[in-house]
Amino acid sequence: MPNAVGPEQWYACTVHELGVSHLFEPFIDVFYRCNIWHVRGRDRSLLFDSGLGVVSLAQHFPWLRHMPLLAIASHTHFDHIGNLHEFADRACHPAEAHILDAPTRDATLATRYAKLDMFERLPPGGFDADAYRVIPAPATRLLEHGDCVDLGDRRFEVLHVPGHSPGSIALWESETVLLLSCDAVYDGLLIYDAYHSNPEDYIETMHKLRELPVRVVHGGHYPSFGRDRFRELIDDYVRGRRSPGCPSETLARP
Ligand SMILES: [Zn+2]
């Protein structure tokens, strides 16, 4: 079993252009590691997803509380919502709000995926897979397709992108052509076989997303990419090349 790390080592942060910071948990295997995106605005900031929840995100990054912050769940799989309860202002799509209210192990996919083999090093205190569960964090705001997340000097449009899950949302900033794409599109194996996935919705989502004139895409997992790769990933998925059935890629991830 891998050794546990100290709490001060659990997270890392990389600063990108356009006031975007990437927070992540480096000792979680890359297949399971959620990208946590922080976008700074003039009047407030947004946090898009919050990680596994085994170490306090808010304590590790106290600057998260230096200005008003809206913590948004891109969807409700456990690897994305574990620390959501640490923030007072929380948002998600209505289709998954009931899961934030009562995040059972089955509903959040923890039963299926939250295992010891997620870790390259264990979190402080180790990890009890059977005991792990997400703390309830009811949404204080519901975000529908077309809604605006206004940070004062910049505005993100909410895109409902069902398929991976029914309430998946992406955030689109047209002024900077920046997309936070959640688990709808990232540069890895895309998952459409969760209990509430819908492959037909996923294809429709892909067709809509492909029309966006993106310049930078920050996904829910794996490294960021640009427009050409974005369209290539979508085209591969639509052609069936990036599915759990692909023989060279057998690991499914939430
Ligand atoms: Zn997911």
Given a contact cutoff of 8 angstroms between Cβ atoms, the answer to whether 100 and 92 are in contact is yes
Distance CA 108, CA 106 (A): 6
On whether the CB atoms of residues 187 and 229 are closer than 8 A, the answer is: yes
Q: Supply the pLDDT for residue 240.
A: 84
Q: In this predicted structure, what is the pLDDT of residue 248?
A: 37
> How many angstroms separate the alpha carbon of residue 42 from the centre of ligand 1?
30
Quote the ligand 1 centre to 16 CA distance (angstroms).
Answer: 23
Element (H, E) at 159: strand 155-160
pTM for this prediction: 0.94
pLDDT tens per residue across all 254 residues of the chain: 568 998 899 999 999 999 999 999 999 999 999 999 999 999 999 999 999 999 999 999 999 999 999 999 999 999 999 999 999 999 999 999 999 999 999 999 999 999 999 999 999 989 999 999 999 999 999 999 999 999 999 999 999 999 999 999 999 999 999 999 999 999 998 999 999 999 999 999 999 999 999 999 999 999 999 999 999 999 999 998 655 444 334 345 55
Which pair of structure tokens corresponds to residue 164?
A: 């991976």
Cα 101 to averaged position of ligand 1 atoms, centre (Å):
17
CA distance 40 to 191: 30
Instruction: In whole angstroms, give the CA distance from residue 47 to residue 87.
Output: 10
Instruction: Return all residues near 50 (Cβ < 8 A) that are at least 6 apart.
Output: 36, 57, 71, 73, 80, 81, 82, 83, 84, 86, 87
Q: 194: CA distance to ligand 1 center in Å?
A: 8
Separation of CA 60 and ligand 1 centre (Å): 24
254 CA from centroid of ligand 1 (Å):
4
Residue 157 host element (H or E): strand 155-160
